Amino acid sequence: MTITRDRPEPNIRVGSFNCNGLGNPEKRSLVLNWLKNKPEDIILLQETHTVTDTEDSWGRTWGGQIIFNHGTSNSTGVTILLKPNRGIEVVSHKIISQGRVTLLEIVHEGNSYCLVNVYCPNSNVSHVAESTITETLGRTRDDLCILGGDWNTVLDNNLDKYGGSATHSNSKRRDFLNKTIADYGISDIFRLSRGTDRVYTHVNKQHKTQSRLDYFLIDDRLVNFPICSTDISHGFKSDHSYISLNIQGRTLNRGKGYWKLNNAHLSDDRFLSSVRNIIHDTVNDSFDSYTGLWDVIKFKIKDFAISFGKKEKKEKNVEKEKI
């Protein structure tokens, strides 16, 4: 989708949360009311344990549109919650994998999106992720894709995992997702924006491990808007954290807006030498995938380029004052 001046720019918030089962009516009411207070327009839920008989109860508590993909009363299930009065037009929705993946096509404030709610199995198989990517990227509709949920694997064993064995057991899915990120124009927005930060979304107290299993993979066209950020915050009655995605394409009263590399730096030997050093030093670090390495290199170069530009501007101002 080409975003032109006569089309409103993206302005959407999406949340995602593995709720560890909402079959219990009391817990369901508490969690849904907790989610009502979140600022996100759309919330992707995994492991909801919904069945047809509980749809009416969900509807009464939530008060907005709900897209169900049932599992059983004690396993799987993914659900998409739409906040009322947020100007969201549902175009279509489709179950890619029963109880595990739902694809939702919407229009929001004049822009077309494809939202995919993912709950991969906790086993070393990749078929659910493969069918998700095939169905999502194989469509003819020209829209902006946001895939989020519990992928049940990390993308980088060094950065996304703490404790236990050195590698996450679901390596087939990890390898497939990293190849997809490298080949198809989507990004792990957390790693892209947060560099080497080690923040986790799941805690296993029994095995004393922490992992980043929950994340958004988003269309590369969304990455360069003035605000495109993701956050990890405390969950509620679950061993998973709540993750959120905020994309704002309009000029806001706050925020730094777009960043563009000053191409003049590419003719500066000092700049080029420092960039080479950044690449060399980063390559010598331990990374589980080329995608993770590339994302961190880009982040470090951007950070250095901003600092270099500020320093150069300051030096030029000093020279002007001397004149």
Average pLDDT score over the chain = 89
Of the candidates 136, 138, 84, the residue with the CA atom closest to the CA atom of residue 113: 136
pLDDT tens column, 241-288: 999 999 987 544 444 444 556 666 777 889 899 999 989 888 887 666
pLDDT tens column, 171-227: 999 999 999 988 888 999 999 888 899 999 999 998 899 999 999 999 988 887 888
pLDDT tens column, 110-139: 999 999 999 999 999 999 999 999 999 999
Q: Can you say whether residue 51 is alpha, beta or left, with left for phi > 0 and alpha for psi between -120 and 50 degrees?
A: beta
Residue recorded with tokens 């175009």: 91
Q: Sort 320 into a burial class: Cβ within 10 Å, 0-12 / 13-18 / 19+.
A: exposed
